[in-house]
Amino acid sequence: MSEKKISSRQAFLLSLNVVLATILLLVPSEVIKESGVNAWLAIIISGFIVAYFLENRKKSKV
């Protein structure tokens, strides 16, 4: 059997996937608990914030 090793980049991406999956599952429930009736507003605002950062990230790579 051949021994294959993963690179440090692959290890980082694997760890990042685990962390992001946890965040995606836990954060919305915490936001809803804290926001109560205004949870829909918090989700919309956070969506705009994420979209803003993703758009700026794309512009900086060009």
The pLDDT tens digits of the residues spanning 31-61 come to: 778 878 877 787 788 778 878 887 777 666 5
Domain boundaries, the chain: 8-61
Check whether 24 has a pLDDT greater than 80.
no
Mean pLDDT for 19-27 is 77
Which pLDDT value is given to residue 52?
Answer: 83
Which pLDDT value is given to residue 59?
Answer: 64
Q: What separation in angstroms does the CA of 24 have from each of 1, 31, 35, 38?
A: 37, 11, 17, 19
Report which residue type is found at 29. Answer: S
Phi and psi dihedrals of 31, rounded to 5?
A: -65, -45
pTM over 0.75: no
Which pLDDT value is given to residue 12?
Answer: 86
